[in-house]
Structure 1
């Protein structure tokens, strides 16, 4: 059973939790609400048309969506007559789109590889009068067979992106609509073709990196991204201060970025 499934509440439990949260505003109740509504974050991620950027760091985007969900819980006003789900989707969607604008460098890498591949293939075709072979293109690019596979994935992902058509979410804060976009929720376990094509190589490198981390660093990452614990909760488990956990987290991410850059994945 996933973390999100464990956090789902019955309708009666949910109403009681909301009432208690509105009165007391405790962190514990807010965390329970986040767990219950975590599926909204995955709904938004699967509903938005996300190009290469999402494939590089889906965990980062999910974390950004959780921050948007947290903000929605803190700011939600039930007296305005808007369903929480509708209000939260708008907040989560906005947070993710804002983050995508900041992380445009991720998509630039995939675009660079795609254009380099196309340029090499076109040049060889013009020079020889025939379609270039994979080995000819690889040599023209001047890359190793391992790195060449990342170029192929960029090409496949670009082609897949042109065939994917994902409906946007016509949800605005306070908007009343006769049709509820949440009535058709995609399977949270479904994997888009674009995601599947581009994630394989990246995940292999990330897993390789995580496996060689010292135990404490690895635990911080696993507990934060896979178990959904806060820095404070992780600190209590590992007997560290919250600031130290935050420092370890930032250090690991920076080391991971260097690792990925070394393999031309960023």
Structure 2
């Protein structure tokens, strides 16, 4: 029997453990909770689909994920109406991504293009006192229209951490199943009850946020994520520059990230 299997508790045992932990906050109970929920750490690691070229080992990232799980257990507040699994996955994922950023995992080329784009846009804005157009930025960068698109893709990639999606959650295996859940890779196409719960909870917060946005901001998000239009196509529809659409997109995602963080969903 694996360590993970030995740590799994029945639903009744788990509820009793949580109740005792909330009252007494002992290290022993916290460790038992960590052991029970270890399967979430491995799940998040697989859902992130890390590249083989990353310099940090999976074992190191698993340790980082356990630290995120520990923080989730310590900070979880059941009165806020969020399921623990939903809350824990966002904490674990955030801890792992933070560690990867510290280790310089992101593409140096994409990051260099992003900073060059931002610098050019800022300089032009300061010089002219107005928002720089896509063509002005391209000329300041001194690149061809084709290469300029790679700069725009780098800008989009720089905001990938604020994507509107979050890893779906697998359903825990029953006690009669002898398979070690830490060795399981959930079927990404399966829609299980816990998957639906996590998605519905996140979607509800996102939809409420989108409904209160000004029309232009809401259209940028809807057209980009739901209609699949590019920034250039959105700009043509809304009579905005491509760079302005990119800026609105980044601004909305940053505001949304703060909104979700306030509800323990990011």
Q: TM-score range by the shorter chain?
A: 0.3 to 0.5
1:91-127 CA-partner distances (Å, limit 9, x unpaired):
0000000000111269889999999999999999999
**Residue range with higher mean Cα deviation, 170-179 or 73-82:** 170-179
How many residues get paired?
A: 266
Call closer, same or farther: CA 1:213–1:67 in 2, change over 3 Å: farther
Partner of 1:167: 167
Unaligned runs of 5+ in 1: none
CA distance in 2, matches of 1:260, 1:221: 16
Call closer, same or farther: CA 1:117–1:254 in 2, change over 3 Å: closer
CA distance in 1, matches of 2:218, 2:37: 27
RMSD, aligned α-carbons:
19.7
TM-score, normalization by structure 2: 0.42
Call closer, same or farther: CA 1:156–1:81 in 2, change over 3 Å: closer
Call closer, same or farther: CA 1:146–1:162 in 2, change over 3 Å: same
Unaligned runs of 5+ in 2: none
Runs of 4+ aligned structure 1 residues displaced above 3 Å come to: 52-56, 105-185, 187-266
Partner of 1:248: 248
**Residue range with higher mean Cα deviation, 198-207 or 79-88:** 198-207
**Residue range with higher mean Cα deviation, 160-169 or 30-39:** 160-169
Deviation at 1:49, TM superposition (A): 2.6
Call closer, same or farther: CA 1:82–1:157 in 2, change over 3 Å: closer
**Residue range with higher mean Cα deviation, 152-161 or 132-141:** 132-141
CA distance in 2, matches of 1:243, 1:110: 17
Call closer, same or farther: CA 1:168–1:259 in 2, change over 3 Å: closer
8 A contact 1:157–1:197 mirrored in 2: no
Deviation at 1:3, TM superposition (A): 1.2
Call closer, same or farther: CA 1:32–1:181 in 2, change over 3 Å: closer
**Residue range with higher mean Cα deviation, 60-69 or 165-174:** 165-174
Call closer, same or farther: CA 1:119–1:227 in 2, change over 3 Å: closer
TM-score, normalization by structure 1: 0.42
CA distance in 1, matches of 2:151, 2:64: 28
